[in-house]
Chains A and B, each alone.
Chain A
């Protein structure tokens, strides 16, 4: 062992101070010689000085390493000599590795990286146990959010943590340095005062707020900005500290900018942070601090040193059975919080797995392609191999040499792949839904490591075939056959063909994925949402800021607003509603239906102005919609959706039936019409019973305004002016999310869009690579059989026959590839079925179309080299021997 270390030291020294060692050796030997000459000149000669030196030197050198280094240089030279060949391979690998790196950077950001806070392993996230996708409306579907009173109870009761932090989202906020210049749609978080201290988040400049700032009685109106927001929107101006700004119209003082690495905890909203007790001021919805019915806070805590999650869990289980403030349908649980909250993780986790699978296939294809390219070149290098062997190169050495070449290629491909992955970041951010904006998907060390590993694995994958071939040639003793260009045994092509079969099969699978996702997206777009979303603009209003005490005031505001907005040019109709389409929140009412005993609780209602149904283009099934007749004085009226009619008036005519809210039996509501069901939020959901109530008879706060415009041209014009018009009516309304319903839809189905777009890119790349593979194989085939083709032509084969002969070779490869691909689709379909909207099981037609399409494209790729083969001039072909 010691010897090893000493040897290593010497060798390292030899690397660094070679000259010194050389001199030492020379001095030592020449001294010997000198003494010899002086004392015993007659004795036998000294021997070969150089040889002695050589023997001594051997001890210093990393023989292996230097040999390998020589191989590396030699390999690089060989690759350099065929630049196009090399470039093609590197490019192919870079595409494969880059795609993997890009997807992996997302995975790293969501799954692998710890939060950039102090000791992330101590963090615990509190959630409700075992609840996903519940249909119970009284509890939020999100298992991570809790009410403020519950947070307080936990904070007081839980002793295994050093502290608990509450985090609430504040989405769609607007930020302004001055009142008139606003940035809309920024999103931050409302956090308890201990947020920065407990998590250990440092500030870039200024200070963080603390518990004192966040006092319940008089919280300081302060905010901390994120580094990214500060840099992008404020140009990194240090002077912003201490400045008064407006957050959604409320004056706040900026006291700090968070350090660069902090992007929030993986829930949405990483632009800014404000103290929890400012909630009544900055977040609509009244004072939520004493409202135990409204869950909106996420809770993360830091364990006391030495306390395990299990201990915290045990305490939490006991505690949750004692809590009475909130109806806990299930026990609470503590999970590791080192990676932050998992909402994107849960939402996109499985999609990412699918994409990761797809990039894996893509890389596999690239490897197969590269392997066949290398194999093709192997033919040309047969003679080199034979000569090498004749000169005494061992098989192991030969294999090593080829493997090193593969590694060089993979290394270059990996480097370029990293560049591609970095470039793909922009693309991902563009196609990814907004919520990814807060995710830091930069290339971190995980991605780097991953890329290195992938490159290495790729080198083994694609290097295997040519290396095997090399050793095979070595055995055959290539010299004797190398000079002849006739084809040898058909097995020589077997490997090549197998590689192309793999590529075609994988490209079929990738293309199928792309088509299936694309179809699913198309079905989502073409689904009948029950309304006409073309030419409709919606805006979300902050009517809460109006601070009206009674509902009639809202009615007056609605009238003023409708009058002003409908005066805009190109407007067909305007309406306001308590719930807009594609916004997803509802008021509910507990009602009795005439003649039916049971109470319907949580009936969804939507208070709308008279023209709402017309503005949205909701189709009438029976009866009529609201008109001027439904004035406040007239009998109360409602329009219901088909789901309502189906659920409670099955087989009867719902029009004319009556229902009333609990306690208002004396003022029944008459159903005057039935309209089509409409999708509200998730296009996948089934429609629930819903009643539209006229705002004039049921005055109240409305949240949305909708405009139907005449044409696309008018759309653009109105888009730009509608915001100002609303502000002119009342500047407190502060419209946000002014967008067309098409845009709203895109937002809602963003996951499907993401999958469809990225898989489309992969599908296209896959087809490209496989065509390239077929083209390469056939070209190689033709090139190496020029002589044979020449002879065939010389003895009377017609060009057409030759053409067909070559094409047949292509079919032999492509057809089994497509067949295997179809098998892959059938097997893989189950895996991605859950991502598809209304997947219709085995879609034979689609599969056939994909298979046919690839078959055609691949054969097209083979057509050109085949034509070249048919045009071979027999004389030239034979002469070239």
Chain B
């Protein structure tokens, strides 16, 4: 979900995703690279992400990802589910 959210901002590459999540979560969340890339590839396979190759300023091949329609739908669903879950959890924790 986090990855989908990160990608939803527009075309990004793997490093940027990790950095963005790291930065936005104010360094509380760190995405392991070991999990990031397999996850990206899996999402691509499931049709949540699109990818394309380009060349960076340093003249290296860069693979960047973009959210597909399916991915967007999935993100919305995930978010809703997550909100319900956290809301529920909070209610339990805050009950007396």
Q: Spell out A's residues near B (CB within 8 Å).
A: 2-3, 6-7, 10, 24, 27-32, 34-36, 39, 44, 46-48, 51-52, 55-56, 59
Can you report 18 residue pairs joining A to B where beta carbons are below 8 Å apart?
Answer: A2-B47, A3-B45, A3-B46, A3-B47, A27-B61, A28-B13, A28-B37, A28-B61, A28-B62, A28-B63, A32-B14, A32-B33, A35-B15, A46-B33, A52-B34, A55-B34, A56-B37, A56-B38
Across the A-B interface, the 3 shortest Cβ-Cβ residue pairs: A55-B38, A35-B15, A47-B34
Nearest chain A CB to B83 CB, angstrom units: 26
Least Cβ–Cβ distance between B12 and chain A, in angstroms: 12
Contact (Cβ within 8 A) A59 B19? no
- B33 contacts A47, C-beta separation under 8 Å: yes
16 more A-B residue pairs beyond the given contacts A55-B34, A56-B37, with a C-beta to C-beta distance below 8 A:
A24-B63, A27-B63, A28-B14, A28-B61, A30-B60, A31-B13, A31-B14, A32-B18, A34-B58, A44-B30, A47-B32, A48-B34, A52-B33, A55-B37, A56-B41, A59-B45
Cβ proximity bits B25-61 to A, threshold 8 Å, 1 near / 0 not? 0000010111001100110011100000100101011
Task: Name the CB-closest residue of A to B27.
Answer: A43
The CA-CA distance from A46 to B30 in the complex, in Å, is: 12
Contact A59 B62 (CB under 8 A): no
A27 to B64, CA, bound (A): 12
Complex contact B45–A7 (CB within 8 A): yes
A24 to chain B, nearest CB (A): 7
**Could you tell me the distance between the alpha carbons of A52 and B31 in the complex, rounded to whole angstroms?**
13
C-alpha gap A27/B41 in the complex (Å): 14
Report the minimal beta-carbon distance from B8 to chain A, rounded to whole angstroms: 20
Instruction: Find B38's partner among A30, A44, A48, A52 (CB 8 Å cutoff).
Output: A52
Tell me if A's interface is mostly helix, strand, loop or mixed: helix
Contact A52 B37 (CB under 8 A): yes
Q: In the complex, are the beta carbons of B45 and A29 less than 8 A apart?
A: no
* Complex CA–CA separation, A51 to B61 (angstroms): 22
Name B18's closest neighbour in chain A (CB-CB): A32
Say whether B38 contacts A34, CB under 8 Å.
no
Q: Which residues of B contact A32 (CB under 8 A)?
A: 13-15, 18, 33, 37
CB distance from B19 to the nearest CB of A (A): 7
Task: Find chain A residues with CB under 8 A from B58 CB.
Answer: 34
Whether A39 lies near B19 (C-beta < 8 A) is yes
Whole-angstrom CA separation of A7 from B44 in the bound complex: 10
Most-contacted residue by chain B among A10, A24, A31 (CB, 10 A)? A31
Residue among A32, A46, A59 having the largest count of chain B Cβ atoms under 10 Å: A32
Task: Report yes or no: A6 in contact with B32, Cβ–Cβ below 8 A.
Answer: no
Contact A31 B61 (CB under 8 A): yes
Contacts of B61 in A (CB 8 A): 24, 27-28, 31
State in angstroms the CA–CA spacing of A59 and B37 once bound together.
12
Determine how close the nearest CB of chain B comes to the CB of A764; give it in whole angstroms: 60
- B43 vs chain A, min Cβ distance (A): 11
- Residues of chain A within 8 A of B47, CB atoms compared: 2-3, 6
Contacts of B34 in A (CB 8 A): 47-48, 51-52, 55
Question: How far is B63's CA from A48's CA once the two chains are assembled, in angstroms?
Answer: 20
Residues of the A chain whose Cβ atoms lie less than 8 Å from the Cβ of B63:
24, 27-28, 31
Question: A280 to B22, alpha carbons, bound, how many Å?
Answer: 103
Complex Cα–Cα for A27 and B58 (A): 13
Closest residue of chain B to A9 (Cβ to Cβ) is B45
Residues on A with beta carbons closer than 8 Å to the beta carbon of B37: 28-29, 32, 52, 55-56
